Structure 1
Amino acid sequence: MRTIKNTKDERTIQERLADLVVERTLPKSVRNALAKGTSGHLVVVVPSTEWQEPIGEAISELQDKVHPVYPGGPKAAKDDRKAVKFHLEAGHVVVGVAVTPSTLPPLLRTVSTMTATVPAPDPALLRTFLRSVCTGPVPRSLDALNVGALDFDEICSLVSFQAEAAVVVEKLGQAIANKTGMTRGNEVLPSMEEAVEFGEARHWAKDLKIDLADVAAQRIGWADVDRGIVLHGPPGTGKTTYARSLGQYLGIPVVIGSIADLFASTTGYLDTVIRAQRDLFERARSAAPCLLFLDELDQVPNLDATDSKNRDYWAPVVADFLIALDGAVAERAGVIVVGATNRLHAISPAILRNGRLERAVFLGPPGPDGAMRILRHHLGSALPGADLGGVATICASRAMTGADIMDVVRSARRRARRSDRDITLDDLKSVLMPGKETPPDVARRIAVHESGHAILAALHMPERLNLVTIEPGGAGDNSGGHTQIAVSGTPIETIVELENRVEMLLAGRAAEILIYGSPSSGAGGSATSDLALAVQTLAIAYLTLGLVDGTPRWRCEPEDVMLHLMREPACSSRSPPRSTRPTRLTGMKQSPPS
């Protein structure tokens, strides 16, 4: 490899690592031919852009007439072609080094006689490297590290001459944990075997683990593995925690990125955003097998819904993203993509089509069992024998997310800390129910109201009725009671099913009229009240789904339907025609789905 002056090796850490990788990657016959200047032109594929120049420089040290070429941006393409042409005409050996060969000048790809691939470094290579520059034995724990998750500069920055190998391995392990989003410090991630709060996403994880075991046993190939999923649901339901727990469960690293990060880490110019986008996918490829978590997936715009001015900017970004996604999902063995969004409807259909991320799984607020697990997880060793059932039921009835429940525990700990004592069950209850007990007459009206919801739920969809409860503390900031309905198993609904839902939403008000002769304010108020949800459901059926009176009517996106009603008084001045089914008692309040 490089010339060593006298008998002393004066190469830098970077040069030593690059030389070692070239020695391990290129066959001896090819290296000898390069040293003699008799080899053909080469294309060398590297794990990421950080490896391009170190590998290129290491190869060029073999012979003065060996010239490395790296892919440039669109503006440099013409100069790259001229450079390749000059070296070819001068009789030099040209070596193109790139992550993706198609980014190299076409002339070089045409005349090259060989393509070599530099894999991401593995523990065996790092062990040899550390023995050459460090002191002391290299710990066996190195073999368990996914060192391929680290880029060239990251590895070199953690290694120094004459450092203790054990200390370096410890630093490598911490860097890998920081980069891949695995456990941080003493953090304990939820166990996928027990985390019922993840719902259907947990079942998908268990099936995926079976698939990966079958791949390892060579019973199936990577083409048979479910390679992608989109998690959707309200904020705070634990999508990022799920991805990190999934990586731990599968025993593979997690590469975490978000669309917002692509802009925050760049100048925002087109070429820098695309470069950052490619680097993210390249990191995943070099760390394979791994999990690539893409947060805020809805930030990739739908070009069909983008105005012409912005479309000119976004078109190259979206096209490049889809190409990278295709490569990750369909072509790159070992990369599993998990997307996340709070707004599934806003994701471009091009991302959700078959062959990409066609499976969408709802990750919503947990039910009582899930809330119990989340409480226990955040309490840690505190309250080991306490009955958390009542607290968990209240959390579930309010459709509290994992983040909400974590805040309950944090607030309870703060309350106990300020009193200079250990946390108690009463601290949790005080956070959830700071008010007084519900007066008997109010409690009875709430019971009547919720019973109306429950009766209609039992009539229309008994298998989806999860929970009916009256909360201690009265109807202050909360409604005082909840009837919780599970999410429908199918995304397709008929007009009859939509009207059933409206009847359930209004049944609490109807029950109050039946028993007391008039309704209370409990059915209205906020945007999530019975009345608001009922109006929104009917408006969607009438103005966006074309399910009422047989007319294929469309006025706006479902999420904009209430704004459309406010802008168009004619739409809300009279009730839309109902279907021809018999008129029935309507009503029921429905909490956000569990």
Structure 2
Amino acid sequence: GASRVRDMFEQAKKNAPCIVFIDEIDAVGRHRGAGLGNGNDEREQTLNQLLVEMDGFEANEGIIIIAATNRPDVLDPALLRPGRFDRQVVVPRPDIEGREKILAVHMKKVPLAPDVNARTIARGTPGFSGADLANLVNEAALMAARRGKRMVAMSEFEDAKDKVMMGTERKSMVMTEDEKKMTAYHEAGHALVSVHEPASDPIHKATIIPRGRALGMVMRLPERDNYSYHRDKMHANLAVSMGGRVAEEIIFGYDKVSSGASGDIQYATKLARDMVTQWGMSDLMGPLQYEEEQGETFLGYSQSQRVHMSDETAKKIDLEIRKLIDDSYDRAKHVLTKHEKQLHALANALLEYETLSGDEIDELVEKGKFDRPDGEVAKPTAVPSAGASIPKAGRNKKGPFGDPKPQGA
């Protein structure tokens, strides 16, 4: 309330020089409404009082105000003008150097085995925030405790990373042989298209063990932190997302295609729509923005979204999205038809071993076989070393095909 804001600033003046820190400033600093509905909003009074108090400082009062929020987009513009909050510091998700240092902090509390390398874990976790990394270390420690180990080894960190990125293994889930075979070919389809698409990220591992809401998964990890997204990679991702559906059709026939590709179709449609409407990747539509990011209702913005296009344009956009998806479907079909032997080999290896690492998949595609000593578990592919760089907006931590969708690729 407004009176508590006044009290706080009175105390600050008594204790000057001092720092006032307000966490989650969006709780009181949210965009003021247009006076519709209830004009006497308690939150607006609080914000008005805060604005008045912040304006009232003399240059020599020695009070510094710092505030933090995850939602700078909903803050009232009056709060952000110079003289109130003069300086804005954006804290992005950490890059590889940052992740390594954050891991070092959390690992101090855990007894580590000699083979644990924080740099390797940092390379394999692009897009993780500090909280995600703390959770990763915690999961690894829990796994080591369950296995009766005194130290947390690299294998626990790998398993914890799989659990955090892909979901928990559903060991109780009983799948019929037909469903297992369908899943194996679905995942083999994704993996094979990924191997034959030069712009695709390298495969980390492929599995047909059910995790989260997915019956199987092909996990791809970028070689370094990505900050922009290139056209060739978008087309490669579209083709990879169609790989599972196409493999089902080639092997089992048109009538036996399953609903397992729903997550892939959802991903591909959204990517194709963004390419056409926001990133100017369609020659027909040109480099124009046709859709705005949807603002949430009740954040003080207008509820109705303006549409910046005619019906004719909307039709053209739908046709362009359809064309992109159809092209990627044909591209995946071409790869899988050309390399059908490899598809069978990969699916059979998945049925036999359940989980394959990226190196094993590459070896299988090149030589037609791979060597794994009896009783040994797939060692995930180490992600090649790479430097750090600048933050990329809106990247999905789980990566395009690690989404928890039904039999998501």
TM-score by length of 1: 0.37
Among 426, 445, 449, the alignment partner of 2:193 is 445
Among 378, 387, 391, the alignment partner of 2:117 is 387
Give the superposition deviation at 1:349.
0.9
- Residue 379 of structure 1 contacts residue 409 of structure 1 at CA under 8 Å; is this kept in 2? yes
* CA shift in 2, pair 1:371/1:274, >3 Å: same
Task: Show the counterpart of 2:315.
Answer: 574
1:307 pairs with 2:36: yes
* CA shift in 2, pair 1:425/1:550, >3 Å: closer
Give the distance between the partners of 2:241 and 2:102, measured in 1 at CA: 39
Counterpart mapping for 1:428-577 below 5 A: 428-433=157-162, 442-448=190-196, 451-452=198-199, 468-474=201-207, 480-483=219-222, 484-486=225-227, 503=231, 506-509=234-237, 512=240, 524=264, 529=267, 531-536=269-274, 539=277, 558=295, 574-576=315-317
- Residue 279 of structure 2 contacts residue 289 of structure 2 at CA under 8 Å; is this kept in 1? no
Counterpart mapping for 1:244-259 below 5 A: none
Task: Show the counterpart of 2:72.
Answer: 344
Give the distance between the partners of 1:278 and 1:347, measured in 2 at CA: 20
- Residue 416 of structure 1 contacts residue 422 of structure 1 at CA under 8 Å; is this kept in 2? yes
Among 156, 170, 194, the alignment partner of 1:427 is 156
Task: Show the counterpart of 1:209.
Answer: none
Q: Which amino acid aligns with 1:319?
A: N
* CA shift in 2, pair 1:515/1:408, >3 Å: closer
* CA shift in 2, pair 1:282/1:530, >3 Å: farther
Counterpart mapping for 1:7-22 below 5 A: none
Q: Which amino acid aligns with 1:323?
A: V
1:360 pairs with 2:101: no
Query: CA RMSD of the aligned region, Å?
Result: 5.1
Q: Which amino acid aligns with 2:20?
A: L
Task: Show the counterpart of 2:52.
Answer: 323
Counterpart mapping for 1:101-500 below 5 A: 273-299=1-27, 300-305=29-34, 307-327=36-56, 331=59, 333-380=61-108, 382-383=111-112, 385=114, 386-396=116-126, 399-418=127-146, 419=148, 421-433=150-162, 442-448=190-196, 451-452=198-199, 468-474=201-207, 480-483=219-222, 484-486=225-227
What whole-Å deviation, never above 9, does each CA across 1:21-66 have from its counterpart, x for those lacking one?
A: xxxxxxxxxxxxxxxxxxxxxxxxxxxxxxxxxxxxxxxxxxxxxx
Give the superposition deviation at 1:424.
2.0
Give the distance between the partners of 2:271 and 2:16, measured in 1 at CA: 45
What whole-Å deviation, never above 9, does each CA across 1:180-199 have from its counterpart, x for those lacking one?
A: xxxxxxxxxxxxxxxxxxxx
Give the superposition deviation at 1:530.
5.3
Deviating runs (4+, > 6 A) in structure 1? 438-441, 513-520, 548-556
Q: Which amino acid aligns with 1:481?
A: R
* CA shift in 2, pair 1:431/1:322, >3 Å: same
What whole-Å deviation, never above 9, does each CA across 1:70-97 have from its counterpart, x for those lacking one?
A: xxxxxxxxxxxxxxxxxxxxxxxxxxxx
Give the distance between the partners of 1:533 and 1:310, measured in 2 at CA: 41
Give the distance between the partners of 1:446 and 1:372, measured in 2 at CA: 28
Give the superposition deviation at 1:532.
2.1
Give the distance between the partners of 2:318 and 2:97, measured in 1 at CA: 42
Give the distance between the partners of 1:513 and 1:433, measured in 2 at CA: 20
* CA shift in 2, pair 1:525/1:577, >3 Å: closer
Give the distance between the partners of 1:575 and 1:502, measured in 2 at CA: 23
Give the distance between the partners of 1:429 and 1:549, measured in 2 at CA: 44
Identity of aligned residues (%): 19
- Larger Cα Rg: Structure 1 or Structure 2? 1
What whole-Å deviation, never above 9, does each CA across 1:92-135 have from its counterpart, x for those lacking one?
A: xxxxxxxxxxxxxxxxxxxxxxxxxxxxxxxxxxxxxxxxxxxx
Task: Show the counterpart of 1:157.
Answer: none
- Residue 482 of structure 1 contacts residue 590 of structure 1 at CA under 8 Å; is this kept in 2? no
Q: Which amino acid aligns with 2:226?
A: I
**Alignment length, in residue pairs?**
275
> Which has the bigger relative contact order, CA under 8 A and spacing at least 6?
2
Choose between structure 1 and 2: higher helix proportion: 1
- Residue 505 of structure 1 contacts residue 590 of structure 1 at CA under 8 Å; is this kept in 2? no
Q: Which amino acid aligns with 2:315?
A: R
- Residue 372 of structure 1 contacts residue 389 of structure 1 at CA under 8 Å; is this kept in 2? yes
- Residue 193 of structure 2 contacts residue 243 of structure 2 at CA under 8 Å; is this kept in 1? no
SS at match of 1:417: helix
Q: Which amino acid aligns with 1:389?
A: R
Q: Which amino acid aligns with 1:472?
A: K
What whole-Å deviation, never above 9, does each CA across 1:429-478 have from its counterpart, x for those lacking one?
A: 11112569x977654433455x435xxxxxxxxxxxxxx55333549667
* CA shift in 2, pair 1:540/1:284, >3 Å: farther
* CA shift in 2, pair 1:317/1:591, >3 Å: closer
TM-score by length of 2: 0.51
Extract unaligned runs of 5+ from structure 2. Answer: 164-168, 172-183, 249-260, 329-392, 400-409
Q: Which amino acid aligns with 2:151?
A: D
